[in-house]
Structures are given as C-alpha cells and as structure tokens.
Amino acid sequence: MTMKVEAITLREIQMPLVHFFETSFGRTYNRRIVLLTAHCDGADGWGECVAGEGPFYSSEGTETVWATIKNYLAPAVLGRTLTSARESVSLMARVRGHRMAKAAVENALWDVEAQRTRQPLWNLLGGTRREVACGVSIGIQESIENLLEQIHTELAAGYLRIKVKVKPGWDLNVLERIRSCWPDITLSCDANSAYSLDEVEHLRKFEQFNLLMIEQPLWDDDIYYHARLQLELQTSICLDESIRHARDAAFAVDVGACRIVNIKVGRVGGFTEAKKVHDVCQAGGVPVWCGGMLETGIGRAHNIALSTLENFRLPGDVSASKRYWKEDIIEPEVEVSRHGMISVPDAPGLGYRVRKELVDKLTVRKEMIWPETR
Ligand code: OSB
Ligand code: MG
C-alpha cells in the first residue's frame, strides 16, 4: 500500500455548543474548528484539529493552527508518497511544537491508510476493545443546583464516571454537595492548573471526597512539583496538560508525578505519539484514559478508535454527540448505551460517514493546498 498526498483541504467550521463549557481558564459558547481533508489517490481522509479558539488550554488556537498547517505542515507532506501514516511524523518533525496542528494532518492520513487497507481505524491502531467505557466532563456552572441537575441527568443516561471542573471558590463546596447526593459514584475533578504548591493544605481537603483522581492540579508545564504533591496525597493525580509526548510520560511515571494519565491525541501530536504514550504508561503500570476537547464527530471517531487500545482501562471523556451538538457532522452520531458504553464501529476508516453537505454549510473559510511546483 502506498498513498500519495495529492492535496489537502483546510476548513474552518463554526458550531455553537448546546451548552456553554467553562473551565478554570474560561468559557466557550461557540467552537471554531479546523477540519482537514487529505486527498490521496482517490481516498479522502479526515482530521480534526482539537485546538481551542484561543491559546488558553495550550499555546495553540484556531488561527495558529491554520497558519502552521498552511505554511509548514501541508507543504512538508504534499506531493510525497507514503507507505504509512506514521511516516508523516518525520516529515513534519522540523516544525517544533504545534502538536495539535500536526495531529490533524497525521490523523487524516491514518484515516486514509485504514480506508486503503480496508480495515477500521481501531484495528490499524492495534486496538482490541469492541466497546469503550464513557464518562462525562461537566464544566463550571452558574449554580451548584444546575450542576447537580446535570449530574443527575448524566447518571440517568448511564455514564460510568462523573468529572467536574474545579477552581478556587468552586471546589470543596461543590464536591461536598455532590457527595451528599451520591456517596458512591465514581467521581473525579479537573483543575486545569488552577492551584499552586502553597495550596497543598487546601488540596488535602479534597481527600475526604474519595475521588478517583485529581486531574492537573498544578502548572500546565510541570511534572516535578506534581511528583512532590503526589507524595503528599493519597488521591491519585492524573496528568493532562503536562504530558506532551512519550518522554514526558516516562518522566512522570518514573518520578511518580501521577498514577493515571489522560491521553489526548491532539495534545501529543498525533496517533503515533499517542500510541507511544500509551505503551510507556502500560509498561510503567499506569492506566490511561482518553480525554476530550469538545470535538465534532470526526475527532470523536478518532478518540473512540484510540480508546480501544488495551491500557485505556478507565472511562474516558468521550461521550455522545448530542451532549455537545444539535446536529453532529457524522452519521450515525456517537451514541452511548444505557450502560455507558460506545460500541466501536466496524466499517473501514473512521467507521462513520462524514456529512459533507452539513460540513459545507458550517464552513466559514476553506482553502485547498497543492504541492509547490518546483
Ligand atoms: O482539560 O480535559 C480538559 C475541554 C476543553 C479543554 C480541556 C479539557 C476539556 C474537557 C472536556 O474536560 C472534555 C470533553 O467533554 O470533550
Ligand atoms: Mg483535563
């Protein structure tokens, strides 16, 4: 199998969220998402860039991703004939950082490779699970009552783990109320770096709520101080932002900075690196789960495929399309069973059909990029 990267289409689509999503770094109502199509000998592969609108979760945002793909990443792969999607990694390696932009390109090529070799993406990635376990991530709300109502709805829908966003002022009071309603549910929290090391005594108070984990309590670029904090806490720390690649994962596992890792394929720069992070964690006895970035169905399909790997042992943040979108851009939409599971599709490639007419309707800019004529 070979695939020649003949052209790449970049698009920005805009989609309003069904409900705003608030974290310790800000609130989002409308997503501005960069989608990418790799055109290779008659096969079209889809990638979704998971960068946020602005550089708040990470340094990337809709605008930087567009410019980086257009000016550097697309030219690095266009006109090349590849024997696997993995080969695109070394072609793009000259560009430092910009991992979410790289992942959009690489992951579209994995879709092409899966289609061309007539297998579902999960199988090409080396997955084994036929269904994946789902949790939900619930943002900061206008009131605790609103939050409790949402948790009630998600538990009734069957989700297996509730994660709530926390920040100073929206933490102990919130966890207290949740636990008084539901003493036994699997519960975790995500601080998105809202605390610092002088708040160890405050973080110690989280222990009473019997959390599955505390996600990214400290700085987004830190591993060492998380190790210091983990020594002080019984509750497992999970790292998200801090893990940019497999070396970070190896460091974090070695120094005991976390006992759980959140893998986001965009954050680590694509499927090739995500698989390495998975393997490093597995070898170190650290279970992983798949994070989410408010993706459309395309990113969601990629996340589902990744979650079939063996060491994805905990429920992920990958949940049903309808929690985010009035109408998703894939068919069928992602649905979650009464038991909180997504069944993994078997069709070649993504396993879902991209609704191109709807994508066109949502597109606010589009550019097709061709190989530079030399
Ligand atoms: O930290 O996991 C995070 C959303 C945007 C940015 C960062 C995060 C999140 C989520 C939402 O938690 C996960 C999802 O439902 O897609
Ligand atoms: Mg997180």
**Structure confidence by residue, pLDDT tens digits, 341-350:** 999 999 999 9
pTM of the predicted model as reported, rounded to 2 decimal places: 0.97
Sequence-separated (6 or more) residues with CB below 8 Å from residue 197: 218, 225, 228, 229
Q: Among this protein's residues, is 361 annotated catalytic?
A: no
Whether 373 has a pLDDT exceeding 80, the answer reads no
- Lining ligand 1 with CB less than 6 A are 23, 57, 137, 190, 192, 240, 291-294, 317
Mutation pick for ligand 1 pocket among 58, 100, 137 (CB with most ligand atoms within 8 Å): 137
Task: Give the model confidence (pLDDT) of 45-80 as tens digits.
Answer: 999 999 999 999 999 999 999 999 999 999 999 999
For the residues 84-97, what does the mean pLDDT come to? 98
Active-site hit among 163, 165, 167, 275:
165
| Nearest residue to 298 (alpha-carbon basis) of 4, 15, 70 | 15
Whether 230 has a pLDDT exceeding 80, the answer reads yes
In this structure, which residue's CA is closest to atom 13 in ligand 1?
292
Rounded distance from Cα 24 to ligand 1 centre (Å): 11
Rounded distance from Cα 38 to ligand 1 centre (Å): 26
240 close to 232: Cβ distance less than 8 angstroms: no
pLDDT more than 90, % of the chain:
99
Q: Among this protein's residues, is 264 annotated catalytic?
A: yes
Number of Cβ atoms within 10 Å of the Cβ of 105: 29
In this structure, which residue's CA is closest to atom 8 in ligand 1?
293
Query: Quick one: pLDDT at residue 374?
Result: 52
Res. 372 pLDDT band, cuts 50 70 90: confident
69 close to 36: Cβ distance less than 8 angstroms: yes
Angle between helices 246-255 and 224-232 (to 10 degrees): 30
| Nearest residue to 289 (alpha-carbon basis) of 317, 265, 269, 267 | 317
Task: Give the model confidence (pLDDT) of 265-315 as tens digits.
Answer: 999 999 999 999 999 999 999 999 999 999 999 999 999 999 999 999 999
Task: Give the model confidence (pLDDT) of 162-221 as tens digits.
Answer: 999 999 999 999 999 999 999 999 999 999 999 999 999 999 999 999 999 999 999 999
